[in-house]
Amino acid sequence: MAAYLAQTRRLLKQFKTYYIRQVPRSENSHADALSRLASAIDDLVGCHVPIEVLAWRSTAEADVNTVHQDPSWMDPIHAHLTDGTLPTDKAEAKAVRQRSARYLLL
């Protein structure tokens, strides 16, 4: 239930206004039948409850993996191996040439 509450709160943020009303059991036959069934199970009456297995979760959200790629130590080596680009600093260029000799780009 906590997952449904969290999902509901996320969805409600998208509306400017909304109205929530508690529906009495007398007006909601499904909820009333479910509560009676739950009470009957405690009394060992009606222990066989049909279970519906859902193909996917109703509260599932799309998985989004955001990738932030900061400059890496591999970038100059990759640039040198792909198109021969070297840094403008001579000492750095020499270091990149030496390090890139240890790698193979497939």
Does this model's pTM top 0.95? My answer is: no
CA distance 2 to 90: 60
pLDDT at 81: 93
Mean pLDDT for each consecutive 10-residue tract of the chain (106 residues)? Answer: 84 89 82 76 59 74 72 90 92 94 88
pLDDT at 100: 93
Contact 3, 59 (CB under 8 A): yes
CA distance 99 to 80: 10
